Amino acid sequence: MSPEALVAMQQESLLHERFPGLVEALDWVAVGIDLIAVALMLVGVLRFLADLLRPLRDSGKVTSRIDVARVELGRYILAALELLIVSDIIHTSLSLQITDLIYLGMLVLIRSAISFFLSREIREIREGESG
Protein backbone atom coordinates (compact mmCIF):
# COMPACT_ATOMS: atom_id res chain seq x y z
CA MET A 1 0.00 0.00 0.00
CA SER A 2 1.34 3.45 -0.90
CA PRO A 3 2.02 6.12 1.72
CA GLU A 4 -0.69 8.30 0.16
CA ALA A 5 -3.25 5.52 0.59
CA LEU A 6 -2.26 5.10 4.26
CA VAL A 7 -2.68 8.82 4.90
CA ALA A 8 -6.09 8.78 3.19
CA MET A 9 -7.18 5.80 5.30
CA GLN A 10 -6.06 7.50 8.50
CA GLN A 11 -7.94 10.70 7.68
CA GLU A 12 -11.23 8.92 7.00
CA SER A 13 -12.58 7.06 10.00
CA LEU A 14 -15.74 5.01 10.25
CA LEU A 15 -17.41 8.01 11.82
CA HIS A 16 -16.53 10.13 8.79
CA GLU A 17 -17.85 7.48 6.40
CA ARG A 18 -21.16 6.76 8.11
CA PHE A 19 -22.01 10.11 9.71
CA PRO A 20 -20.39 12.89 7.68
CA GLY A 21 -23.10 15.37 8.67
CA LEU A 22 -22.56 14.67 12.35
CA VAL A 23 -18.79 15.06 12.00
CA GLU A 24 -19.24 18.40 10.26
CA ALA A 25 -21.74 19.58 12.88
CA LEU A 26 -19.41 18.60 15.72
CA ASP A 27 -16.54 20.39 13.99
CA TRP A 28 -18.68 23.53 13.96
CA VAL A 29 -19.59 23.00 17.62
CA ALA A 30 -15.88 22.80 18.48
CA VAL A 31 -15.19 25.99 16.50
CA GLY A 32 -18.05 27.69 18.34
CA ILE A 33 -16.58 26.64 21.68
CA ASP A 34 -13.19 28.04 20.58
CA LEU A 35 -14.82 31.36 19.70
CA ILE A 36 -16.67 31.49 23.01
CA ALA A 37 -13.38 30.82 24.86
CA VAL A 38 -11.63 33.64 22.99
CA ALA A 39 -14.57 35.99 23.63
CA LEU A 40 -14.47 35.07 27.32
CA MET A 41 -10.78 35.94 27.52
CA LEU A 42 -11.39 39.24 25.72
CA VAL A 43 -14.18 40.14 28.17
CA GLY A 44 -11.79 39.32 31.01
CA VAL A 45 -9.09 41.55 29.53
CA LEU A 46 -11.50 44.44 29.00
CA ARG A 47 -12.79 44.17 32.57
CA PHE A 48 -9.21 43.94 33.84
CA LEU A 49 -8.23 47.09 31.96
CA ALA A 50 -11.29 48.92 33.27
CA ASP A 51 -10.44 47.84 36.81
CA LEU A 52 -6.81 48.77 36.27
CA LEU A 53 -7.68 52.30 35.15
CA ARG A 54 -10.16 52.85 37.99
CA PRO A 55 -7.48 52.92 40.74
CA LEU A 56 -5.57 55.53 38.77
CA ARG A 57 -8.58 57.83 39.07
CA ASP A 58 -9.47 57.05 42.68
CA SER A 59 -5.90 56.82 44.08
CA GLY A 60 -7.06 54.77 47.08
CA LYS A 61 -5.77 51.24 47.83
CA VAL A 62 -4.26 50.80 44.38
CA THR A 63 -2.49 47.53 45.15
CA SER A 64 -5.54 45.76 46.57
CA ARG A 65 -7.72 46.85 43.64
CA ILE A 66 -5.16 45.60 41.15
CA ASP A 67 -4.98 42.29 43.00
CA VAL A 68 -8.76 41.97 42.86
CA ALA A 69 -8.63 42.71 39.12
CA ARG A 70 -5.91 40.07 38.66
CA VAL A 71 -8.03 37.48 40.46
CA GLU A 72 -11.00 38.27 38.23
CA LEU A 73 -8.86 38.08 35.07
CA GLY A 74 -7.49 34.75 36.26
CA ARG A 75 -11.02 33.39 36.59
CA TYR A 76 -11.81 34.36 33.01
CA ILE A 77 -8.61 32.75 31.75
CA LEU A 78 -9.27 29.53 33.69
CA ALA A 79 -12.81 29.29 32.33
CA ALA A 80 -11.58 29.87 28.78
CA LEU A 81 -8.84 27.23 29.16
CA GLU A 82 -11.42 24.69 30.26
CA LEU A 83 -13.53 25.46 27.20
CA LEU A 84 -10.51 25.14 24.92
CA ILE A 85 -9.77 21.70 26.37
CA VAL A 86 -13.36 20.63 25.61
CA SER A 87 -12.95 21.82 22.03
CA ASP A 88 -9.65 19.95 21.64
CA ILE A 89 -11.26 16.76 22.94
CA ILE A 90 -14.04 17.08 20.35
CA HIS A 91 -11.53 17.63 17.53
CA THR A 92 -9.44 14.65 18.62
CA SER A 93 -12.41 12.34 19.02
CA LEU A 94 -13.43 13.15 15.46
CA SER A 95 -10.03 12.58 13.89
CA LEU A 96 -9.15 9.31 15.67
CA GLN A 97 -5.47 9.71 14.75
CA ILE A 98 -2.63 8.93 17.14
CA THR A 99 -0.83 12.17 16.28
CA ASP A 100 -3.93 14.15 17.24
CA LEU A 101 -4.19 12.17 20.47
CA ILE A 102 -0.56 12.97 21.33
CA TYR A 103 -1.18 16.61 20.42
CA LEU A 104 -4.26 16.66 22.67
CA GLY A 105 -2.29 15.13 25.52
CA MET A 106 0.38 17.81 25.23
CA LEU A 107 -2.20 20.59 25.05
CA VAL A 108 -4.09 19.29 28.07
CA LEU A 109 -0.82 18.98 30.01
CA ILE A 110 0.23 22.53 29.17
CA ARG A 111 -3.21 24.00 29.85
CA SER A 112 -3.52 22.02 33.08
CA ALA A 113 -0.14 23.33 34.25
CA ILE A 114 -1.19 26.88 33.43
CA SER A 115 -4.49 26.35 35.26
CA PHE A 116 -2.70 24.90 38.30
CA PHE A 117 -0.25 27.79 38.62
CA LEU A 118 -2.91 30.40 37.89
CA SER A 119 -5.21 28.90 40.53
CA ARG A 120 -2.34 28.89 43.01
CA GLU A 121 -1.56 32.54 42.25
CA ILE A 122 -5.22 33.50 42.69
CA ARG A 123 -5.30 31.68 46.04
CA GLU A 124 -2.10 33.46 47.17
CA ILE A 125 -3.54 36.85 46.21
CA ARG A 126 -6.73 36.11 48.18
CA GLU A 127 -4.75 34.94 51.20
CA GLY A 128 -2.61 38.09 51.00
CA GLU A 129 -5.73 40.24 51.01
CA SER A 130 -7.26 38.51 54.01
CA GLY A 131 -4.01 38.09 55.94
13 assigned to some structural domain? no
> Residue 105 belongs to what domain range?
22-130
45 assigned to some structural domain? yes
103 assigned to some structural domain? yes
Domain count, the chain: 1
Distance CA 58, CA 102 (A): 50
- Stated pTM of the model: 0.74
In tens, the pLDDT along 77-124 reads: 989 988 998 998 888 888 877 888 888 889 888 888 888 888 888 888
Distance CA 126, CA 49 (A): 20
14 assigned to some structural domain? no
27 assigned to some structural domain? yes
11 assigned to some structural domain? no
Distance CA 59, CA 36 (A): 35
70 assigned to some structural domain? yes
Grade residue 1 by pLDDT with cuts at 50, 70 and 90: very low
Question: Based on C-alpha coordinates, what's the Rg of the chain?
Answer: 21
